[in-house]
């Protein structure tokens, strides 16, 4: 059972840390929250492993944990500009992704969460709806809205793109 959990952790933890970093704006906070969420997963592993998507369970706990760390409105009111971007600025192959990360970090928290869960955590839309506790239609429209806003922000890079 431990080997199974270890494999699950090694496969999913980096992706979830990256996702939560995008949501919360702080890599250290994200790492703390994800580690705590995985610890809670291990404390009840027989139940968690039976979930349809254990990673979604962990992400939900990590999101809550990140909020509890700074509690109440304080954590919600962090400024979007505080969202850290991964290092490796010298890699030219990643310059577009860096620009995109910078654009995502200027979205509001809800849209950042949608983008992070869909495209970094790679959760399907119905799972995102469950994790965030919002209607599936809201996930779809929110993602579309966020993509549109990112398109505007990054124009003219993507000006030829369309629905």
Buried b (16+ CB within 10 A) or exposed e, 65-94: bbbeeeeeeebeeeeeeebbbeeeeeeeee
Residues 98-127 that bind another protein (CB under 8 A): 98, 100-101, 104, 106-110, 112, 115-116, 118-120, 122
Which region holds residue 71: left if phi is over 0, alpha if psi is between -120 and 50, else beta?
Answer: left
53 is an interface residue for another protein by CB under 8 A: no
Give the residue from 121, 113, 124 showing the smallest Cα distance to 146.
113
Cβ proximity to another protein: between 55 and 120 the closer is 120
Which of 49, 53, 75, 124 is in the footprint of another protein by CB under 8 A?
Answer: 75
42 is an interface residue for another protein by CB under 8 A: yes
Which of 52, 90, 92, 133 is in the footprint of another protein by CB under 8 A?
Answer: 133
Smallest gap from Cβ 163 to another protein, in A, equals: 6
């Amino acid at each position: 059972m431990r080997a199974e959990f270890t494999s699950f952790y090694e496969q999913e933890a980096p992706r979830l840390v990256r996702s939560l970093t995008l949501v919360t704006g702080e890599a250290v906070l994200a790492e703390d929250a994800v580690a705590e969420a995985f610890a809670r997963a291990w404390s009840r592993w027989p139940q968690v492993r039976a979930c349809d998507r254990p990673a979604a369970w962990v992400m939900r706990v990590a999101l809550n944990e990140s909020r509890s760390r700074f509690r109440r409105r304080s954590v919600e009111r962090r400024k979007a500009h505080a969202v850290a971007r991964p290092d490796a600025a010298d890699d030219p192959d990643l310059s577009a992704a860096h620009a995109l990360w910078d654009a995502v970090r200027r979205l509001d928290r809800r849209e950042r969460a949608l983008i992070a869960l869909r495209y970094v955590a790679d959760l399907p839309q119905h799972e995102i709806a469950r994790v965030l506790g919002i209607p599936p239609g809201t996930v779809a429209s929110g993602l579309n809205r966020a993509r549109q806003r990112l398109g505007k922000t990054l124009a003219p890079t993507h000006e030829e793109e369309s629905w």
